[in-house]
Amino acid sequence: SPNIVIFDLNTSTEYQNATSKIQRINQLFSDPPLIVIHPYEMKKFVEPLLKAGVNAVLPIAPSEDEIKTAITSTLQGKTFVSL
């Protein structure tokens, strides 16, 4: 089982919505810390991701610092959202 999963929600078409994709990842990998790359930067689109079990949300083209902070925060059990 991985220590952390980073997933671009735009890369998979097998499951229609983001919540379904997150649930499937959690099933496959036994609920690892999960960082997702998400195209929408509005809070109303991010909240359902967090409720579904995401630990961090990054924009489509995250900076190196955003990626480092997301990984560090997630591994420490914290939530990180970059909007």
Q: What is the pLDDT of residues 47-60, one digit of tens each?
A: 889 998 899 999 98
Q: How many CB atoms lie within 10 A of CB 18?
A: 21
For residues 76 and 28, give the distance between their C-alpha atoms in angstroms, rounded to a whole number.
22
pLDDT at 26: 83
Residue 31 pLDDT > 90: no
Which residue has better confidence, 20 or 64? 64
pLDDT at 68: 96
Tokens standing for 6? 């980073």
For residues 15 and 31, give the distance between their C-alpha atoms in angstroms, rounded to a whole number.
18
| Residues contacting 14, CB < 8 A, separation 6+ | 21, 24
- What is the pLDDT averaged over residues 18-26? 84
